[in-house]
Amino acid sequence: MADAPLTGLRAIEFGQLLAGPFTGTLLGDFGADVIKIEAPGDGDAMRDWGRLRHNDRSLWWSILARNKRSVALNLREPEGQRIAADLAAGADIVLENFRPGTMEKWGLGPEDLHARNPGLIYARVSGYGQTGRYRDRPGFASAGEAISGLRHINGYPDQAPPRSGISLGDTLAAQSAFQGILLALIARANGAEGQVVDASIVDACFAMSESSTLEYEKTGFVRQPTGPRLPRIAPSNVYRSKDGKWVVIAANHDTLWRRLAKIMGQPELGEDERFATHHARGEHEDLLDEIIGAFAAEHTADELDEIVNGGGVVCAPVYTAEDVYQDPYFRERELLVEVEDEVHGRITVPGIVPKLSRTPGSIRQAARWTVGADTDAVLEELGRG
């Protein structure tokens, strides 16, 4: 990992559950020495989370805790706080996702740590951010997705707004924090001192809202959930194949639409005044879905994948986890890679994203299953061994 982008940098990760620790995973994937601080005993609650278990242990932990060293410290005690402060004094990055004010209560806030280490990048991940009237609220992904407006525009009209089947808000917040850390490191390399990166679940979810609030401000229009398609962006929808699978077909561009009309054996529709332009197709999107739906129902999902993509039109099957696992593409792209895990044995896990040609990331160390497994080694490096 001598050529990894973050090699030589040390990050101290405080906190638990998902958004903060996933930021630490991203840092570790690209070479940083990530020291994860855990409470003695049970450690991070993510060690026991996950929908399914194997060998009576979490599967999620094997992914979230990779490329990290585990140090057990009681941050509620003065000695634990002193050790944590000493670690931060020699670090490049501190990452925490407690409620605002918690780190300050322990003498580990930005002002405390910057006094000893002015170049420190201090990243804070929370539900609502470090400022604003909601800063002290407890925040989970579900709440951030809701109040940001993201949850409202998901799903179907007149139904309860559904969540994605993943913790989307947490992942988005982690990626936002990771981006902020990298920007702060660039600024430091250009002569700036350390600074605070304030990332929140609400911020990250709201950043995806496109022009929805501007549309409301200038026209009074409030976007509503629209199911599997975007209104007036047509055709772009999911269609049921002959073998009962869902397939995305998107031809919401004049050239693509003419190609799709030809693929369907109805080239005249490409120039039909009802469909020939982007705005015309938006006016007749229901009819378009009927026509394309009838075409899709005549073919299996595999046939559609081959025929429509082969004709130069956007098409993709809606995959399950089983489909992803079986498709060689995900191994060709190293989106799925095999590693050894001390609890689960040989496992296939998500690879490193994004891909860098000269300084790629990698999985150097499997998850540590013993809380504080690296405490002695880290304290020895600190001169406290």
Residues assigned a catalytic role: 170
C-alpha separations of 141 from 34, 37, 80, 295 in Å? 24, 22, 29, 39
Residue bearing tokens 């979230």: 64
Checking phi first, is residue 125 left (phi over 0); if not, alpha (psi -120 to 50) or beta? beta
Measured distance CA(69)–CA(378) in Å, rounded: 8
Let me know if 181 is exposed, middle or buried by CB neighbors in 10 A (0-12, 13-18, 19+): buried
Token pair in block for residue 336: 């799925």
Gap between the terminal Cα atoms of the chain: 27
Q: Which of 222, 49, 15, 14 is nearest to 139 (CA)?
A: 15
Phi (first) and psi of residue 124, to 5 degrees: -120, 125
| Contact partners, residue 111, CB within 8 Å, separation at least 6 | 104
CB of 362 closer than 8 Å to CB of 29: yes
**Amino acid (1-letter code) at residue 374:** D
Supply φ then ψ for residue 17, to 5 degrees: 65, -130
| Amino acid (one-letter) located at 385 | G
Round to whole Å and give the CA distance between 162 and 349: 27
